[in-house]
């Protein structure tokens, strides 16, 4: 088996010291990805293009013209972020054959820093799912236990980082799709503040909730990657015109000035695994030992978060996916008699069961006679949830919770019960509804599988969030654990 790659910082330092070339690193990443192909983490590799870009990197470094300290480091992106001349399918049959004519905002930023995309990672179709089982490429597997899900919808990105084929990857988070797979795979996953990272070129699921973020082995690596991709993009109307702070400079290890809020609703919820709670509580104690104070806070409208999320997300999904009609781009049904049959047959053949389910739910929510009862009411509850967080943050700097109510479940275990699957995101969806940043980091093991600690912060205070997460990782070694090699 090809050796797993090190962390982003380790590879950066090795390149700077000329202990290894970018071509060697990219070749190792590609070989490792191919060696783990049974895990289904990737849906496509850029072998020839990535090696050519690595050769260009080595030439730049030799002439002293590196684009950034990360120039030449391999990385992966989720299959819903477009890249010029490359396929983007969102793991959906309806986008088979689509090749993007332009780069997404994040891909532009990666290229500007010299990072090399080696491939696209597996995902739930159109990012709709919590297990990466809803993919035309087949289910992705958790490297800690091949019979279990890596989480979703960014399960391919989380799994690739845990397996060690790349030091870091990009995912998208609409209701927990970075943080939940990070918890399942024992890596770090950060959902930035809504608008902190450009959504230009991210194929939309729910536009008011989607956000791109990094997955990596350490908090420091997440900070390094966020530094690259954050910033204003005038092409994205929701992008925030705010300066980007130095995230790595914030990693001081000092949390003595911080108060961590413990929300009673998260820790007293039904259905959470007691072993998961034990790991999370132990992690909070470690932060107290590091100097942070804790206090109880309340988020009284949290019990409505799942219902609110699935009303709003499906409504936006039904609107966003209306463009896939077989006329403008993507797969087109054949042997049809009229335009109506073209639309119907294209969508029937092109969309999977979960995507169809959410489109139908969203169309119903937005339909005449139900708009006020469901969609408008959900928007009002969303406002209440946002105010709950604002009130809680008056008395604390950070909120600590479990990332997920249980460890990674077995593949197929929840496939026939969508409502149970939706509850996998019970601890994460409220963060997207409020638009605030959240991070998941490894904090132990339960039943032999990784457990995630979720930390939440005020809008645009990723630096405080990263400082807290880094302080915990300085006092623990869970992030250094690696899964067994695949036979």
Boundaries of every domain in the chain: 8-255+475-480
Q: How far is CA 196 from CA 31, 264, 389, 420, in A?
A: 34, 29, 18, 31
Question: Residue 11: which of 106, 75, 66 has the closest Cα?
Answer: 75
Contact 139/48 with Cβ under 8 angstroms?
Answer: no
Average pLDDT, integer, range 354-379:
93
Residues annotated as catalytic are: 78, 153, 177
For Cα atoms 400, 403, 409, give the angle at the middle one, nearest 5 degrees. 155
Average pLDDT, integer, range 225-249:
98
Average pLDDT, integer, range 40-59:
98
Q: CA-to-CA distance for 413 and 39, rounded, in angstroms? A: 18
pLDDT band at 328 (very low <50, low <70, confident <90, very high): confident
Mean of the per-residue pLDDT values of the chain: 96
What pairs with residue 197 in β-bridges?
Answer: 230
Q: Which two tokens stand for residue 104?
A: 């997404």
pLDDT band at 270 (very low <50, low <70, confident <90, very high): confident
Which of 26-40, 281-295, 342-356 is least confident? 342-356
Average pLDDT, integer, range 334-361:
93
Identify the pLDDT of residue 330.
75
Percent of the chain exceeding pLDDT 90 equals 91
What pairs with residue 454 in β-bridges?
Answer: 401, 440
- Regarding pTM above 0.85, the answer is yes
Angle at which helices 105-113 and 219-229 cross, to 10°: 110
Q: Which CATH code fits 8-255+475-480?
A: 3.90.1300.10
Residue 442 has pLDDT above 90, yes or no: yes
Average pLDDT, integer, range 237-253:
97
Q: Report the length, in residues, of the chain.
A: 487
Residue 269 has pLDDT above 80, yes or no: no
What pairs with residue 230 in β-bridges?
Answer: 197
What pairs with residue 452 in β-bridges?
Answer: 442
Identify the pLDDT of residue 424.
87
Identify the pLDDT of residue 350.
94
Identify the pLDDT of residue 415.
84
Identify the pLDDT of residue 412.
95
Residue 487 has pLDDT above 80, yes or no: no
Identify the pLDDT of residue 416.
82
Q: CA-to-CA distance for 302 and 83, rounded, in angstroms? A: 38
Q: How many other CB atoms are there within 10 angstroms of residue 226's CB atom?
A: 23
Largest CA distance in the chain: 71
Q: E strand or H helix at 107, and its extent?
A: helix 105-113
Question: Residue 470: which of 481, 482, 462 has the closest Cα?
Answer: 462
Average pLDDT, integer, range 347-354:
94
Identify the pLDDT of residue 467.
98
Q: How far is CA 453 from CA 91, 113, 135, 174, 402, in A?
A: 29, 30, 27, 19, 5
Please give the torsion angle defined by the CA atoms of residues 181, 183, 189 and 191, in that order, rounded to the nearest 10 degrees. Answer: 80
Dump pLDDT digits (tens) for 195-233.
999 999 999 999 999 999 999 999 999 999 999 999 999
Of 218 and 338, the one with more pLDDT: 218
pLDDT band at 360 (very low <50, low <70, confident <90, very high): very high
């Amino acid at each position: 088996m090809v050796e797993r790659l090190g962390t982003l910082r380790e590879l950066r330092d090795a390149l700077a010291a000329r202990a290894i070339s970018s071509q060697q690193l990219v070749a190792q990443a590609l070989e490792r990805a191919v060696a783990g192909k049974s895990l289904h983490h990737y849906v496509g590799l850029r072998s020839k293009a990535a090696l050519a870009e690595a050769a260009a990197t080595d030439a730049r470094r030799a002439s002293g013209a590196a684009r950034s300290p990360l120039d030449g480091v391999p990385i992966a992106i989720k299959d819903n972020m477009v890249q010029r001349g490359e396929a983007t399918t969102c793991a959906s049959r309806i986008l088979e054959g689509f090749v993007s004519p332009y780069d997404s905002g994040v891909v532009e930023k990666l290229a500007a820093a010299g990072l090399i995309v080696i491939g696209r990672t597996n995902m739930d179709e159109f990012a709709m799912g919590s297990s990466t089982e809803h993919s035309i490429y087949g289910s992705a597997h958790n490297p800690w236990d091949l019979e279990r899900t890596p989480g979703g919808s960014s399960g391919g990105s989380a799994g690739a980082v845990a397996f060690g084929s790349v030091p870091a990857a990009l995912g998208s988070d609409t209701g927990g799709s970075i943080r939940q797979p990070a918890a399942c795979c024992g890596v770090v996953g950060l959902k930035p503040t809504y608008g902190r990272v450009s959504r230009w070129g991210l194929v939309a699921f729910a536009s008011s909730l989607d956000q791109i973020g990094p997955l990596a082995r350490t908090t420091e690596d997440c900070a390094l990657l966020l530094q690259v991709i954050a910033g204003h993009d005038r092409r994205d109307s929701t992008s925030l015109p705010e300066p980007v702070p130095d995230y790595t400079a914030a990693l001081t290890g000092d949390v003595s000035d911080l108060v961590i809020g413990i929300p009673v609703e998260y820790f007293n919820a039904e259905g959470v695994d007691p072993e998961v709670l034990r790991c999370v509580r132990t992690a909070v104690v470690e932060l107290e030992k590091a100097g942070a104070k804790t206090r109880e806070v309340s988020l009284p409208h949290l019990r409505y978060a799942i219902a609110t999320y699935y009303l709003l997300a499906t409504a936006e999904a039904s609107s966003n996916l209306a463009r896939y009609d077989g006329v403008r781009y993507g797969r087109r049904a054949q042997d049809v008699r009229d335009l109506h049959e073209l639309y119907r047959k294209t969508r029937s053949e092109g969309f999977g069961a979960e995507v169809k389910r959410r489109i139908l739910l969203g169309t119903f929510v937005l339909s005449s006679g139900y708009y006020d009862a469901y969609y408008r009411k959900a928007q009002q509850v969303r406002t209440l949830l946002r105010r709950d967080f604002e009130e809680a943050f008056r008395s604390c700097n950070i909120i600590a919770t479990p990332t997920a109510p249980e460890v990674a479940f077995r593949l197929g275990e929840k496939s026939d019960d969508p409502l149970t699957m939706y509850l996998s995101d019970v601890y994460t969806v409220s963060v997207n509804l409020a638009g605030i940043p959240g991070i998941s980091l490894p904090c132990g093991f339960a039943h032999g599988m990784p457990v995630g600690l979720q930390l939440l912060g005020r809008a645009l205070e990723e630096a405080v969030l990263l400082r807290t997460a880094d302080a915990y990782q300085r006092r623990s070694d869970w992030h250094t654990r690696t899964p067994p090699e695949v036979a």
